[in-house]
Chain A
Amino acid sequence: MAAIETAGLTKRYGDVTAVDALELTVEEGEVFGFLGPNGAGKSTTIDLLLDFVRPTAGSATVLGYDAQADAQAVSRRVGVLPEGFDVYPRLTGRRHVEFAIETTDADDEPDEILERVGLEPDARDRPAGEYSTGMRQRLATGIALVGDPDLLLMDEPASGLDPHGISDLQTLVREEADAGTTVFFSSHILEHVEAVCDRVGVLVDGRLVAVDTIAGLRASVGAGATMELTLDRPADRADDVVAALDDVTDVTTSGRTLECVVTDPRAKALVVTQLEDAGVTVRDLRVEDASLESLYTTLTDEQAADAAAEALEDGSGSDANPEREPEAVG
């Protein structure tokens, strides 16, 4: 059984399609990253899974339960960290967790939960309205953990956290994953997803443009690592040695610096040994892996190119209004 499975899941608001025929499967026990720019439809997808909004078409199951028909069964087994939530400003952090324990029919200790998410003891009995954004996020994370859920749905969990908080969050996600919990983790910040996720789905304009491991995504897009070598002599005397190698492209030189892109990881060592064999000494070496950022930009651009191609095909319609100011078109 998949932890999350959607079939043709679609949500339209008037003319705007927030989620477009989404086919997504998240396996049990994995940490799945849900990546996309703000406004891509990530939160709407999560809202659909939680029955906060109802689909225009298609369906979703969460832990085998229909997201709409069995919404209550879903919410009993799923821990939710929503996006854009608020706390009850007059209730203490402890009272929030007590409420979660009571409604989930769990036997957790409020202090254990609050300890796990790092909410300091002196803050626990203060009204949550006095909490900083990071503390609210920790409290909501604690509420999500109540009742040991089988699935954690976290919508932009890193927002509002400082680097320390993000590191705590990543530790927590790994702990939960090790304990067998499936984690569904949305973010528009690539490093956060990269650090914890087994697989990543990329959502752009409501459409799933890629689902793969981070390594697999890189390979499929063909983004390699960039090598920057500092040599003992002007680099333009050595570039032909490097350019001759398979799996090496885009060789450029500047003074004693040689830059190239390696599309196969094994080619890196080859670059160095070939240079040494040619009598060139490598003084320094820097390797920069293609960031998910660039990969993500590539995917988005592909999507945009497809959309532009479609728009061109439908272009005759807009010609009816040639007088329109360019600003009005956007």
Chain B
Amino acid sequence: MTSNVWAVARKEFDDAGRSRLLWALVGLLVLVAAVGYAALWYADEPVTASEALAFLGVPLQVLLPIAALVVGYMAVVGERRSGSIKLLLGLPPTRTDVVLGKLLGRLAVVGVAVGLAFVVALVLGAILFGEAPVFDWLAFGAITLLFGAVFVAVAVGVSAAVSTRGRAMALVVGCYVAIVAFWELLTAGPYYLLYGHGPPVQAAPWYLVLEQFNPVLAYTTLTNLVLENDLVPLQFQYGLESIEAAGMTPAERYPGDAPVYLQEWFASVALLIWLVVPVAIGYYRFTRADL
């Protein structure tokens, strides 16, 4: 790794800072925060600022992955298609510098959007609910950043791995659909075939590990751990899994003391693994590709 990673990352950020995409993204997330807070305040329910913050996790579960995938999926393949990668790699930056720099630059873009949305949430929380829960705010902000970073990493990894825009788009859409829409089919489906029934609350450990590694579930698990709230993961339900299991963390479903890898805090490790593996695969393919 050289200082050229930072040079590429700064160029990326400069470039993105001039793109309408970033500002549309910032606008969307800020709008979601503002509208959510206004709606809660208007409903006149007895809500604390901390609860309002957790409520923000509902739209973010859906929107942040989409936004992050959109920000990242053209990162590398876009330059391959346009030909600007020849200008870039004709200079000293290596393919390693390019992938890591792209990842950092695009992470910064999503970071700015999430950061601004959270500033709005903090200010509105103070104005509407008379509280500024700074610790909760920082912790939830960090978890949300990690969650967004996972999808940026998936998108950049895909972008580095493929040679056409169409394939990149198909793969990121596929990833999103697999995680949000088909997760239960992909995990509880095989479970059903193996055991003749869907996963009960106390499902087999391998199934709970898979649940632990669902990024959306990991996000709600971590959020609930820190905010002591009941943020429910938004996923398509197919009725394969026991209804009682909905909203339970893998640790709660494990009979007795959960092993380390099923404990709630371990969801952060699951997200970190998601952050690294797709980029590593994309990097591996990109360094071996004919451009």
Supposing A90-B19, A91-B11, A127-B18 touch, asked if A103 and B93 sit within 8 A by C-beta, the answer is: yes
What is the CB-to-nearest-CB distance from A71 to chain B, in angstroms, rounded to a whole number? Answer: 7
Complex contact A52–B7 (CB within 8 A): no
* CB-defined contacts of A81 to chain B, threshold 8 Å: 90
Which residues of chain B are within 8 angstroms of A102 by Cβ–Cβ distance? 7
Q: Find out whether the CB atom of A90 lies under 8 angstroms from the CB atom of B18.
A: yes
Q: How far is the CA of A91 from the CA of B90 in the complex (A)?
A: 18
Q: A75 near B: Cβ within 8 Å?
A: yes
Decide yes or no whether B83 CB sits under 8 A from chain A: yes
Cβ of B4 under 8 Å from chain A:
yes
Number of interface residues of A (CB under 8 A): 36
User: Are A99 and B7 interface neighbours, CB within 8 A?
Assistant: yes
List of A residues within 8 angstroms of B204 by Cβ: none
B84 touches A (CB below 8 Å): yes
Inside 8 A of A144's CB, which chain B residues have their CB? 90
Query: Given the complex, which residues of B lie within 8 Å of A103, measured CB to CB?
Result: 4, 7-8, 91-93
Distance in angstroms from B177 CB to nearest chain A CB is 31
Residue B87 at the chain A interface, CB threshold 8 Å: yes
Residues on A with beta carbons closer than 8 Å to the beta carbon of B89: 50-52, 75
Taking the complex as formed, is B290 at the interface, i.e. its CB lies under 8 A from any CB of chain A?
yes
A84 pairs with B94, CB closer than 8 A: no
Q: Is B228 an interface residue (CB 8 A)?
A: no
Annotate B192-226 by CB proximity to A: 1 below 8 A, 0 otherwise: 00000000000000000000000000000000000
**Proximity string of chain B (64-104) to chain A, C-beta cutoff 8 Å, 1 when within and 0 when not:** 00000000000000000011101101111110000000000
A85 with B91: CB separation less than 8 A: no
For residue B82, which residues in chain A have a CB less than 8 angstroms away from its CB? 86
Rounded to whole angstroms, the CA-CA distance of A90 and B291 in the bound complex is 23
A91 touching B87 by the CB < 8 A rule?
A: no
Whether B14 sits at the interface, judged by CB under 8 Å, is: yes
A88 to chain B, nearest CB (A): 5
Chain A: residues with CB nearer than 8 A to chain B? Answer: 47, 50-54, 71-72, 75-76, 78-88, 90-91, 95-96, 99-100, 102-105, 127, 140, 143-144, 146
Using A75-B94, A99-B7, A103-B4 as known contacts, list a sample of 19 further A-B pairs with CB atoms less than 8 Å apart, ordered by residue number in A. A71-B94, A72-B92, A72-B94, A75-B89, A80-B87, A80-B90, A80-B91, A85-B84, A86-B87, A87-B87, A88-B11, A91-B15, A99-B11, A103-B8, A103-B91, A103-B93, A127-B18, A143-B91, A146-B91
* Sampled A-B contacts (5; CB under 8 Å): A76-B92, A80-B87, A81-B90, A84-B86, A103-B92
